[in-house]
Amino acid sequence: DFLFFWGAVFLITTTLVALLKKENKELTPMKEETKGITDTYRLLFSIIKMPAVLTFCLLILTAKVGFSAADAVTGLKLVEEGVPKEHLALLAVPMVPLQIILPLLISKYTAGPKPLNTFYKAMPFRLLLGLEFAFLVWWTPKVKHDGEFPVCYYSVVLLSYALHQITLYSMYVAIMAFNAKVSDPLIGGTYMTLLNTVSNLGGNWPSTVALWLVDPLTVKECAGAQNQTCGTTVAAEV
């Protein structure tokens, strides 16, 4: 029902945009410098060779390493500790209005000449929330009683997720605003696509590495088997 409702909303709104939104024909569209796919990649290569762009790409490729583990693994660890998946899914529902409102509020602070200031200010808070998520995972089995969790526990999880969304969207909107600001209007689509692609990669590769490192970095003990380690999959099976 949830998916059906939002699917209907999506279809209706996009149809209304297609029917009612008119292009401004008075403005003459600027001619793009590229003519084909080969020219586009040559242009991308020339853009990325610029020292400022290269430095910025290195920044956004590595900026999210500090909170990749907290973002990627926290939910999985909570499920592993016994929190029902459907309860975590329900906690995502109150986040939807917050996710709609946050970009509107944050855009006021990223509309100025230095949109990345919001990015820098949000980063330490997001790093601290990574520690808070680690505490949450440690605390989870301690509040579990007869396979159930109290309402106060879910309140803490919801508040943690809400604070996390604020820091996440502060960084996301700031980086998007900066990309839009620095992109050359003549090749705006190509320029922004390059920067946004690098930004997306900067968020995805650390999460992938974090998930891959979960098993090797997890300390395991064998119950009822002396002098036997469970550090590897094979040893655990034995």
Residue 27 lies in a domain: no
Closest CA relative to residue 174, chosen from 104, 98, 106 = 106
Q: What is the pLDDT of residue 29?
A: 54
Whole-number Å distance between alpha carbons of 193 and 118: 22
Residue 117 lies in a domain: yes
Residue 221 lies in a domain: no
Give the angle subtended at the CA of 60 by the CAs of 194 and 211, to the nearest 5°. 105
Residue 88 lies in a domain: yes
Q: What is the pLDDT of residue 182?
A: 85
Residue 136 lies in a domain: yes
Are the C-beta atoms of residues 199 and 57 closer than 8 Å to each other?
Answer: no
Residue 50 lies in a domain: yes
Q: What is the pLDDT of residue 132?
A: 94
Stretches in the chain below the pLDDT threshold 70: 26-35, 188, 231
Residue 227 lies in a domain: no
Q: What is the pLDDT of residue 122?
A: 92
Q: How many structural domains are present in the chain?
A: 1
CATH number at residue 109: 1.20.1250
Numbers of helices and strands, H then E, in the chain: 10, 0
Could you list the residue range(s) of the whole structural domain that residue 83 is in?
38-214
For 82-91, the pLDDT digits (tens) are: 899 998 888 8
Q: What is the pLDDT of residue 190?
A: 81
